[in-house]
Structure formats: C-alpha cells, structure tokens
C-alpha cells in the first residue's frame, strides 16, 4: 500500500514537472514572439523618425525669410535627431519607452504640420510680393524711361532755345595792311590784320551790351597776343584770347571791325580767327597769308 502511494506521488510529480516545463516553454515562446514584434515596431518607428528628419532637412534647405520660424524649425529638427538617437539605443524590450517615443513622434508631426502651413503661407505671401515687386519694378522702369525721355526732350528743347538765342558771326573778311594802313599782299610789308565781321540778326537773343572775345591762331599753332590777363570763361574753364571788344546788340544784324597789329613779320600759311560771346563759339574762319 505504501509502495503504491509512492508510485502515484512520483507520477504526480513527473506530471507537474512536465506541466511546468510546458508552461515555461510556452511562456518563452510568447516572450520571443513579443520581443520580435517589439523589434519590428522599433524598426518601423525608427524609419518614421528618419523620414521625418529627412523632411526637416528639406525644409531647412528652403529660403525661409523668417528668423523666428527658422529657429523653431532648427529646434524641432534637433529634437527629432535627439529622439532618433535615443530610439536607436533603446532596447526593443523596453516597451514603455518605445510607446512614449511613438507619442513623441505624433507630437512632432503635429508641430511640423503647423510649421509647414506657416511656410506655405509665407511662401505664398513672398510669391505675391515678388510679383508685386516685379510689377512695381516694371512700372518704375517705365517711369524712369518716361522721365529719361522727357529729360532728353527738355534738354533738346533747352539746347534748341539756347542755340536759337546764340549770336552767330556769318562772315569775316580779312585785309592785310602795311605800316601806313594801306592794303598790301606783299608778305614782308604786312604789319596789321583788319577783320570786318558781321553778326546775324537774332530777335530771340536778349539785347544789350555784349563782350566779344577773339582768338587769332598763327600757322604754327600759337595764339597771337596770349597773356595771363587775357582770359575768358568757356566750357567750365578759363581760356586765353587775343583781343576783346564790347558792343551793343539790339537784335538786328551788327557789323564791326577789329584790327590786329603784328609785332614781327607776318608768317605765310593758314591762320584761324575764332569769335566767342556769352560762353559760346559763334564763328570760326580760316584765312591764308601767301608768300
């Protein structure tokens, strides 16, 4: 009887051990499957974080002309990088932290959607402003061109009026005289030049006293009678003259005579006589003295 009881007990113990072993193996199988599932979830979550980081990189390459938004994007991008690094080092068996990181991902995505909306709005505004600026630039260019044309026309009108009001020497006859003021063509006897000139009628010119400046240039290019005191204004500088004369101009044609005594024998060749009045060259005439 005792022996039979012992046998039953042994059988019961073996059965219990068998059940425990079976339960342990089954639990291990479930744990293994759970860990594998967590590994898959961790891998998928890591891919989502990496995709999000890539999206942030793309937005950082955009020309976002808003410093505050740029700073917020940079901070969220760094946050994603930090969470990604933490996820990589977190064990798959740490289900609690992985779940928390999954929630963090959802939060970052929500924040990113708001930033994307702001960026799109900002880009739309910038695009509109760019179009408006281009339109304004075109209008400004047209205005500048119009003003330039008006300025050119005004300048032309001013020049036309100025030219119209300028005096003009229309003729200048040259007579060579000897020491007795008689006409002579003999080079060795020439002692004086006589210039008989005519200024044309001009009713647009302001009447009154005028200063006439005359430059006589010899064949060798020298200005006759040049001195430091004989200067007059012309084209923003003071230039020398040979002789000057005052005359009263009424708007009608005016005729006058200028004499130029030679200090030495005349030189054969081509001379030039230039007339200036009120800052303008009003006549230029070459003449020849023959041998």
For 129-179, what is each residue's pLDDT tens digit?
A: 778 888 877 877 887 777 777 555 455 544 444 556 799 999 999 999 999
Task: Count CB neighbours of 207 within 10 A.
Answer: 12
Q: Which two tokens stand for residue 42?
A: 């961790």
Task: Find residue 261's DSSP bridge partners.
Answer: 192
Task: Find residue 275's DSSP bridge partners.
Answer: 214, 283
Which pLDDT value is given to residue 157? 40
Interatomic CA distance for residues 154 and 166, integer angstroms: 18
H helices within the chain, ranges in order?
A: 2-60, 67-89, 95-165
Domains annotated for the chain, with CATH where assigned, are 17-127 (no CATH), 169-289 (2.60.40.10)
Q: Which two tokens stand for residue 108?
A: 């970052």
Which pLDDT value is given to residue 160? 44
Interatomic CA distance for residues 198 and 25, integer angstroms: 133
Q: Which of 185, 210, 183, 187 is nearest to 196 (CA)?
A: 183
Which pLDDT value is given to residue 64? 65
Cα separation values, 93 from 34, 48, 122, 241, 289, Å:
8, 19, 44, 108, 120
Q: What number of CA atoms fall less than 13 Å from residue 249's CA on the CB side?
A: 28
Cα separation values, 152 from 9, 24, 139, 157, 161, Å:
124, 102, 19, 8, 14
Q: Which two tokens stand for residue 174?
A: 């040259």
Q: Is 229 helix (H, G, I), strand (E, B) or coil?
A: coil
Interatomic CA distance for residues 177 and 154, integer angstroms: 49
Contacts with 155 (C-beta within 8 Å, 6 or more apart), sequence order:
none
Kindly give the confidence (pLDDT) of every residue in the chain, 291 residues in length, as a single tens digit, with 9 standing for 90 and above: 666 767 777 776 766 666 665 556 555 666 566 567 767 777 777 788 777 778 777 766 666 666 676 777 777 778 777 877 876 777 766 778 777 877 877 787 777 777 667 776 776 677 777 788 888 778 778 877 777 775 554 555 444 445 567 999 999 999 999 999 999 999 999 999 999 999 999 999 999 999 999 999 999 999 999 998 999 999 999 999 999 999 999 999 999 999 999 988 899 999 999 999 999 999 999 999 998
Which pLDDT value is given to residue 222? 94
Q: Is the pTM of this model over 0.75?
A: no
Interatomic CA distance for residues 165 and 207, integer angstroms: 10
Which pLDDT value is given to residue 260? 97
């Amino acid at each position: 009887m005792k022996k039979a009881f012992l046998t039953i007990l042994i059988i019961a113990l073996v059965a219990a051990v068998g059940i425990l072993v079976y339960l342990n193996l089954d639990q291990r199988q479930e744990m293994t499957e759970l860990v594998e599932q967590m590994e898959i979830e961790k891998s998928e979550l890591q891919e989502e974080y990496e995709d999000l980081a890539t999206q942030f990189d793309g937005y950082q390459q955009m020309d976002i002309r808003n410093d505050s938004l740029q700073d917020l994007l940079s901070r969220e991008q760094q946050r994603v990088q930090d969470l990604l690094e933490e996820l990589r080092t977190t064990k798959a068996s740490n289900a609690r932290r992985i779940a928390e990181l999954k929630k963090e991902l959802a939060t970052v995505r929500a924040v990113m959607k708001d930033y994307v909306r702001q960026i799109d709005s900002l880009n739309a505004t910038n695009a509109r402003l760019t179009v408006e600026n281009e339109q304004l630039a075109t209008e400004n260019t047209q205005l500048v061109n119009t003003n330039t044309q008006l300025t050119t026309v005004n300048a032309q009108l001013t020049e036309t009026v100025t030219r119209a009001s300028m005096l003009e020497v229309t003729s200048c006859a040259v007579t060579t005289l000897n020491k007795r003021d008689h006409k002579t063509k003999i080079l060795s006897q020439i002692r004086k030049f006589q210039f008989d000139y005519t200024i044309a009628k001009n009713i647009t010119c302001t009447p009154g006293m005028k200063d006439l400046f005359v430059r006589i240039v010899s064949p060798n290019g020298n200005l006759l009678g040049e001195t430091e005191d004989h200067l007059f204004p012309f084209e923003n500088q003071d230039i020398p003259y040979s002789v000057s004369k005052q005359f009263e101009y009424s708007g009608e044609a005016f005729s006058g005579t200028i004499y130029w005594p030679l200090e030495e024998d005349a030189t054969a060749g081509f001379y030039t006589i230039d007339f200036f009045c009120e800052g303008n060259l009003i006549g230029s005439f070459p003449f020849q003295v023959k041998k």
